[in-house]
Structure 1
């Protein structure tokens, strides 16, 4: 706690006047998140990538090349992002909660922990998102999660549903670069409908050293680039819509991806190929803090748990103490990180337990279930031609040592010098020259693990039963409504930290945060939800003057 308070005091001292002025303006904030994609962007130094819209955006923005997700796969990563806490601290670490065969459950975070868009909504922001949720305390699709987070969630995410003058926060997921878009049957379908342009050929791509140079692998990598080009075109459409609606001058744009490439030995892993992602922050001229230069690069470490605190700070909202991140994307608002952390746990039916810490040069991985190979027959991934080629080459004994490593039992510890070995193929854990580094990184990981809760200390079946006793989803209790003779309505949740929504006369559901003034003969409905539980039945009450 003393460390936390000291950090808070330092943060307050570092926040410049321009940040306070920015918050008073209540800027619009648009977060665009592609799926399954490492830094395959021209503006991040990839000469093969065809990304004209992202390159144009980056030319007037800050690029953060050292950004890291907390997991190498979507649901745990997205849970950590939306709550700004590491996924294992809220029971969201496995891929996925819904795929656990022994007992149905969802993550049930401590009741006081809220998704940061809900905190924005509580302070008057209009919040919207696209069809993919996937927070582990929800299911994957729109409509499956707490109603309290978003004003709109669905296939047509837009700021156009807000009230006049109301600031917005939008979170748009772009799916074109997802792993499944490289599945052979999907590629055939996309080509048949003309939804993918072939802008990169297989002979143009670079094959990383942990793959053999195989035609199927080259085709998949090229297709990944083509899918990224399609995603880039959608980014361009979103940016043009902002311009057409006259919102570009008051909208901060953040673009990133939910984890690394949707390819084997990248997605699902906690090597940099799985967790290192590109991130761009665009500041319109009217909102740009002093000292921020367009077309610049900031090499400091960014974790996905830093996005939520950064957005809240931009909106002038206090960052809750429970959040693990800080406002790293707001210039000079927080002390820089020394480390980022990541984790890998169950993937479908395969149990893993890996933890990683990384600084600007070294990565340390602790395999808590050693002697398990990284490569497993995950049926979804096995649809990739690359994965099929790897299995064939492995069976034929044609992989070299660097390529075999992923298929072999893992050591308890791995240490990599990222500067000289960016692909993490030379394990230095047994190197006498790096003994001091190993000790330092091991200690940093131990300190972090001791500082946060880790539900992986509990067997998943027991965790599931703790969250959903008897395998049944608990139901949130309905709130109570009190209306006085003047028409002032107070809604009281049955549990103090339940999120409460209301609507008047059948209108849209809104997030309740303060007493309401009702018109004559109004009918008020209210409902509550705790994350991971089913929402309550709605409660109804009416107000008539003179009653």
Structure 2
């Protein structure tokens, strides 16, 4: 304990130096997030993967092989990432909020909780993102979430819309590796249009032990690799664009994925196949912290809730107390984690409630709704040839014990030694030899669950009604504008924590953070939004009219 405390003090002592230097340089930050893939990257030791651009990036970067999402499926994972809090603490745990049939709702986080890109924008960063949002307090696509988070969101995300000298934070989602890209009809379409190269053949892939070795399964895994190759090509284009625009020397690059492989018994699950993801951080030479070595591996535990605090720290912005993560991606900024945590809740029409804790060797899963199979007929997933083959083998009694486990009623507790059993097929929860480990991991999970809110303790219907009474989306109240004779404008939100936007003379909407100085006869418009609610109507005022 004394050693750990000493290291924590040393880390905290180094933080001001690191953050002050970075803040003075106001670095650009580009987050690239692929969809639905585990560490199928050459630089992470996968000899089958063809990922030349990621391998090249990794050769000058830090690789984090022990990175974990907070859920095995996109919307809950993305909600946790963007807010830097675990999804169940803000009612974003179910897949998805919009698919709940009993009452319409979206997550409504506590009013003071903001997406970390909004905090960057508030401090002068230009923020942009691609078309996919999927935050649970938004819908999936651009334009469906709070206006306050991004300066630009849409199909052509770029740093080129910012003011001269303005730093940027960009979040680009790459969709080529998504589960859907393995659906037979999509594969046919992609091959017909020449958007996929066949760089990996089915006979080259390794079949994990929870699958039977079947041609359809091999084809899907090979197609997944081919889709990843396509994603890698897009990474290369983004990196070349940074170079061409003269921004590579002042841009920190983070590349990762939103959860594990888009294959059955991986995506949607909280086994490592569903939550363990690759992560790369590239520090340009001008921004590289002391002691950082290119082409290095850092094996410490990283949670997705650590990304936001890391980005804020790099930008010199104080990390809010409500965030569950810490700046693990900034060297010497925070004490290392002992554990990461994950959760699985409703998937479409199937109710689950699972919580997991993992350290460097063991994973413990608590099934709070036990005696239910993990495999269910989710219509979207059932389009995969792999899933169809698994159902056929299960019905014919052709699955072995490891392959059957996912289809059988699940026990209340699961414990795995990841070092010995990386595929998590040998449950040690009843092992006398691991009784002490079980007790320790169970205690760690209990402590974590006691430390954060969990909306799954409330029935989803009640939660939906609490968020959106009578199934109707609440509307944020409009802010009030006050302009004095000198042209200083103050915008006051109706509720203290509403996010406020403004524009002058019909120009672009900007995030309000401090009083404005208006030219004579300028027309000022303002509007407010609370996450999960509809934005307010706009309020108008002019300098010439005052209040």
**TM-score, length basis structure 1:** 0.98
C-alpha contact (below 8 Å) 2:8/2:335 kept by paired residues: no
Cα deviation for residue 520 of structure 1 reads 1.0
C-alpha contact (below 8 Å) 2:482/2:546 kept by paired residues: no
Taking the aligned partners of 2:523 and 2:10, their CA distance within structure 1 comes to 48
Deviations 1:116-152 (A, max 9, x none): 0000000000000000000000000000000000000
C-alpha contact (below 8 Å) 2:364/2:441 kept by paired residues: yes
Cα deviation for residue 20 of structure 1 reads 2.0
Taking the aligned partners of 2:123 and 2:278, their CA distance within structure 1 comes to 30
**TM-score, length basis structure 2:** 0.98
Structure 1, gaps ≥5 residues long: none
Taking the aligned partners of 1:393 and 1:251, their CA distance within structure 2 comes to 49
> CA 1:4–1:544 in 2, change beyond 3 Å: closer, same or farther?
farther
Cα deviation for residue 59 of structure 1 reads 0.1
> CA 1:6–1:346 in 2, change beyond 3 Å: closer, same or farther?
farther
> CA 1:57–1:398 in 2, change beyond 3 Å: closer, same or farther?
same
Taking the aligned partners of 2:9 and 2:498, their CA distance within structure 1 comes to 30
Cα deviation for residue 544 of structure 1 reads 2.1
Cα deviation for residue 3 of structure 1 reads 17
Taking the aligned partners of 2:206 and 2:245, their CA distance within structure 1 comes to 40
C-alpha contact (below 8 Å) 2:63/2:295 kept by paired residues: yes
Cα deviation for residue 370 of structure 1 reads 0.2
**3-state DSSP of counterpart to 2:501:** strand
Deviations 1:40-65 (A, max 9, x none): 00000000000000000000000000
C-alpha contact (below 8 Å) 1:34/1:174 kept by paired residues: yes
**3-state DSSP of counterpart to 1:466:** helix
C-alpha contact (below 8 Å) 1:10/1:335 kept by paired residues: no
- Name the Cα RMSD after superposition: 2.0
Cα deviation for residue 23 of structure 1 reads 1.8
Taking the aligned partners of 1:109 and 1:391, their CA distance within structure 2 comes to 38
Taking the aligned partners of 1:215 and 1:42, their CA distance within structure 2 comes to 24
**3-state DSSP of counterpart to 1:16:** helix
C-alpha contact (below 8 Å) 1:14/1:334 kept by paired residues: no
Which residue does 2:476 correspond to in 1? 476
Taking the aligned partners of 2:546 and 2:104, their CA distance within structure 1 comes to 50
> CA 1:48–1:370 in 2, change beyond 3 Å: closer, same or farther?
same
C-alpha contact (below 8 Å) 1:520/1:545 kept by paired residues: no
> CA 1:516–1:36 in 2, change beyond 3 Å: closer, same or farther?
same
Cα deviation for residue 351 of structure 1 reads 0.0
Taking the TM superposition and a 5 Å limit, the aligned residue runs for 1:144-163 are 144-163=144-163
Taking the TM superposition and a 5 Å limit, the aligned residue runs for 1:228-377 are 228-377=228-377
Cα deviation for residue 94 of structure 1 reads 0.1
Cα deviation for residue 14 of structure 1 reads 3.8
> CA 1:4–1:497 in 2, change beyond 3 Å: closer, same or farther?
farther
Structure 2, gaps ≥5 residues long: none
Taking the aligned partners of 1:483 and 1:6, their CA distance within structure 2 comes to 53
> CA 1:4–1:509 in 2, change beyond 3 Å: closer, same or farther?
farther
**3-state DSSP of counterpart to 2:255:** strand
C-alpha contact (below 8 Å) 1:493/1:528 kept by paired residues: yes
C-alpha contact (below 8 Å) 1:70/1:342 kept by paired residues: yes
C-alpha contact (below 8 Å) 1:487/1:545 kept by paired residues: no
**3-state DSSP of counterpart to 2:20:** helix
> CA 1:250–1:368 in 2, change beyond 3 Å: closer, same or farther?
same
> CA 1:542–1:509 in 2, change beyond 3 Å: closer, same or farther?
same
> CA 1:307–1:3 in 2, change beyond 3 Å: closer, same or farther?
farther
Cα deviation for residue 376 of structure 1 reads 0.0
Which residue does 2:135 correspond to in 1? 135
Cα deviation for residue 6 of structure 1 reads 12
C-alpha contact (below 8 Å) 1:132/1:141 kept by paired residues: yes
Cα deviation for residue 545 of structure 1 reads 8.6
**3-state DSSP of counterpart to 2:8:** helix
**3-state DSSP of counterpart to 1:503:** strand
Taking the aligned partners of 2:493 and 2:11, their CA distance within structure 1 comes to 34
Cα deviation for residue 15 of structure 1 reads 1.4
Taking the aligned partners of 1:144 and 1:477, their CA distance within structure 2 comes to 18
Cα deviation for residue 17 of structure 1 reads 2.0
Cα deviation for residue 13 of structure 1 reads 2.2
Cα deviation for residue 241 of structure 1 reads 0.1
Deviations 1:238-291 (A, max 9, x none): 000000000000000000000000000000000000000000000000000110
Taking the aligned partners of 2:26 and 2:497, their CA distance within structure 1 comes to 26
Which residue does 1:212 correspond to in 2? 212
Count residues with an aligned counterpart. 547
C-alpha contact (below 8 Å) 1:35/1:178 kept by paired residues: yes
